[in-house]
Amino acid sequence: MPDPNRVELTATAADLLHELIERHGPVMFHQSGGCCDGSAPMCYPRGEFRVGAQDVLLGQVDVDTPFWMSADQYQYWKHTHLTVDVVPGRGSGFSLEAPEGVRFLIRSRLLTDDEFLRLEAAPPPPTGASAADRPENGDH
């Protein structure tokens, strides 16, 4: 049985992501631990955001879109499953969806006991330091 996903997209978020990829090429998400819009997932063209050595790769959403999270934020959220959704309204920031009049948003739920135990038994997720030579870290 494969490890459970830590992050996924709603159908609406996947549709928007496909539109953004058509316009901008490969993209990535980064979730920082800041307040206000810093707590929203930001979508950047790959290569325009440098992932830090401590950032954690939660997984790939959709086909080939890495979702990174700051190490501090990961410590708070490692017991949760994240779902990226889209809501009306414009966030402040440089996320690619901002001009569309919508913004990405995280919805979360606690991992089930089974999901948590399976993830804890698996190797830890890669960090920016361990993925430095891979293009999905945003630095190519």
pLDDT band at 136 (very low <50, low <70, confident <90, very high): very low
Q: Which amino acid is at 139?
A: D
Going by C-alpha positions, the residue among 24, 44, 139, 50 that lies closest to residue 93 is: 44
pLDDT higher than threshold 60 for residue 7: yes
> What mean pLDDT value characterizes the chain?
86
What are the C-alpha distances in Å from 130 to residues 13, 83, 93? 28, 25, 28
Of 27-41, 52-66, 78-92, 101-115, least confident by mean pLDDT is 27-41
Residues 6+ positions from 132 with CB-CB distance below 8 Å: 53, 139
pLDDT band at 47 (very low <50, low <70, confident <90, very high): confident
Q: 83: helix, coil or strand?
A: strand
